[in-house]
Chain A
């Protein structure tokens, strides 16, 4: 699912930041999707993630931090979800 969404994103001519849409995806699957996407990046590369409020917003940012990456921005979305930009750590 992630791969398909990433492709769609690229084919839409938005080359810069890949997006992982984790809306509707429960913990810890959402984190696994983010983790897999982060593995594709070089250190310093960035990734956007859409997360539901509640448990996903409680858990995923913390796990991302524990793995050595950094959430650089958090933007509330109109549908109540959040868009996080994550910078890949080592």
Chain B
């Protein structure tokens, strides 16, 4: 194949192109981590910031446009609800930034930082939902976006009920909505629907009234939702807090450390857990590994208890919230 003979003018143009590409490479942007190096030379995957997997249709259009102009006409939906545009040349980063700015959008983070939080639909329209997962997720993203941890990644997720579609057990910090039921004995007509609805067999009929075994109740609220005359009522609502989970090569199921935590307390807990992680972890250790090394009780005493939330202190109280077969069993054995 013949080597292309460049005319002097074309050679000059090529030089200029190279120059401008070099000038446009913004290393601060690269470090924040939303651009991920691909196996292909000079090409990157642009990860977009989609807290809770919620984006506007306008943002969708811009993502498509970026993919058409600077990628290869495809986007990739990640397991953590992000939209990624693969095959973007680093010379095009400034143009991509500009387009994102136009719809008040930005790239995501990776590396040793607080990652963009994930969340299910929650109570907004999911019939099982007990908490405003989307609202809280958005606010957590706003307050903690990209906060450096000094060690490793830090993942936060929100699930609207114990079905836990957003796998709060596998997060550094997971929040799952919960509700504690109470019976209005005078109102109850003994119809047994709540007993039928409880999958965990936490309710049994005794003397024509449903009686709850709290050691079995996982606070799903199904009994409340089914009761035709509102004799089963919510006593307490909030978030169940899980810490130290992760997936990856060495997966770990999280510990339940607090319950009935309010929305405001969620922010406080994130701050405290992050501070504890920063101070106590070693190297690239994840939060769960630091907790295993230093002890769950120490973590609870130093990071959780001072916030005044309802702490879960013992294995028996954790039992209704986890599925078994995880490292608790191995640790106990």
Count contacts on A: residues with CB < 8 A to the other chain: 14
B65 at the interface (CB under 8 A from A): no
Query: Which of the residues B127, B196, B228 comes within 8 Å of A53, measured between beta carbons?
Result: B196
Q: A14-22, A37-45, A66-74: which one contacts chain B? A: A66-74
B127 to A, closest residue via Cβ: A66
State how many angstroms separate the Cβ of A46 from the closest Cβ of chain B: 13
Instruction: Tell me, yes or no, whether B226 is within 8 Å of chain A by CB.
Output: yes
Cβ–Cβ contact A61 & B229, under 8 A = no
The CA-CA distance from A59 to B197 in the complex, in Å, is 8
Residues of A within 8 A of B199 (CB): 58
A71, B196: Cβ atoms under 8 Å? no
Q: List 21 A-B contacts (CB under 8 A).
A: A57-B196, A58-B196, A58-B197, A58-B199, A58-B222, A58-B226, A61-B193, A61-B196, A61-B197, A61-B228, A62-B127, A62-B225, A62-B226, A65-B226, A66-B127, A70-B228, A71-B193, A71-B228, A73-B191, A74-B193, A76-B192
Chain B positions within 8 Å of A, measured between CB atoms, are 127, 191-193, 196-197, 199, 222, 225-229
Question: Given contacts A70-B228, A72-B228, are A62 and B191 in contact (CB under 8 A)?
Answer: no
A7-51: CB near B (< 8 Å → 1, else 0) gives: 000000000000000000000000000000000000000000000
- In the complex the two chains form, what is the Cα distance from A70 to B231 in whole Å? 13
A79 to nearest B CB, angstroms? 16
* Assembled-state Cα–Cα distance A59/B199 (Å): 11
Cβ-defined partner of A74 (8 Å) among B191, B222, B225: B191
Whole-angstrom distance between the Cβ of A90 and the nearest chain B Cβ:
15
Q: Total contacts A to B, CB within 8 angstroms?
A: 37
Which residue of A has the minimal Cβ distance to B199?
A: A58
A18 to B226, CA, bound (A): 23
A70 touches B196 (CB 8 A): no
Chain A residues near B229 (CB-CB < 8 A)? 70
CB distance from A7 to the nearest CB of B (A): 28
Please give the distance in Å from B37's CB to the nearest CB on chain A. 47
Closest to A87 in B: B228
A44 CB to nearest B CB, Å: 15
Find out whether the CB atom of B222 lies under 8 angstroms from the CB atom of A71.
no
Q: Complex Cα distance A66/B229, Å?
A: 12
Residues on A lying within 8 angstroms of B by beta carbon are 53, 57-58, 61-62, 65-66, 70-74, 76, 82
CB pair A62–B197 under 8 Å, yes or no, is yes
What distance in Å separates the Cβ of A19 from its nearest Cβ neighbour in chain B? 19
Residue in B closest to A71 when the chains form the complex, CB atoms: B228
CB neighbours of B127 from chain A (8 A)? 62, 66
Instruction: Give the distance in Å from the alpha carbon of A50 to the alpha carbon of B233 in the complex.
Output: 27
Cα distance, A72 to B47, chains bound together (Å): 53
Docked CA distance A62–B226 (Å): 4
Minimum distance in angstroms from B234 CB to a CB of chain A: 15
Q: How far is it, in angstroms, between the C-alpha of A82 and the C-alpha of B192 when the chains are bound?
A: 11
Taking CB as reference atom, which chain A residue is nearest B226? A62
Known contacts A57-B196, A71-B191, A74-B191, A65 near B228 by CB under 8 Å: yes
Highest count of chain A CB atoms <10 Å: which of B127, B196, B199, B229 = B196
List 19 additional A-B contacts (Cβ < 8 Å) besides A62-B225, A71-B228: A53-B196, A57-B196, A57-B197, A58-B196, A58-B226, A61-B197, A61-B226, A62-B127, A62-B197, A65-B225, A65-B226, A66-B225, A70-B228, A71-B193, A72-B228, A74-B191, A74-B192, A76-B192, A82-B196
Chain B residues in 8 Å Cβ range of A65: 225-228
Q: Who on chain B is nearest to A65 by CB? A: B228
A70, B226: Cα distance in complex, Å: 10
Across the interface, which residues of B come within 8 angstroms of A72, CB to CB? Answer: 228
List the B side residues contacting A71 at CB < 8 Å.
Answer: 191, 193, 228
Contacts of B225 in A (CB 8 A): 62, 65-66
